[in-house]
Amino acid sequence: MAAGVWSRDSVRSLGARVLLETERGYNTTYTDLDWNFAMPVGFADHGFIATPRSMA
């Protein structure tokens, strides 16, 4: 279920219970870089993940 903060109520209506902790997420998209990551890279000490993205 990927319905954000509404996931718990959505699955509850189906008779299921889920443990859900919600948090606000932020993103930034950089364009016109001379480089890109080949795969997602996590920076646990700083609490973020950088992922490559095709702008095609």
Give the H/E segment covering residue 49. strand 48-50
% the chain with pLDDT above 70 = 91
Domain count, the chain: 1
- Could you tell me if residue 10 is inside a domain? no
Give the H/E segment covering residue 12. helix 7-12
Average pLDDT over residues 13-31: 79
The encoded tokens of residue 56 equal 């095609």
Confidence (pLDDT) at 56: 55
- Which domain does 56 fall in, by range? 25-56
- Could you tell me if residue 16 is inside a domain? no
- Could you tell me if residue 48 is inside a domain? yes
- Could you tell me if residue 9 is inside a domain? no
% the chain with pLDDT above 90 = 9
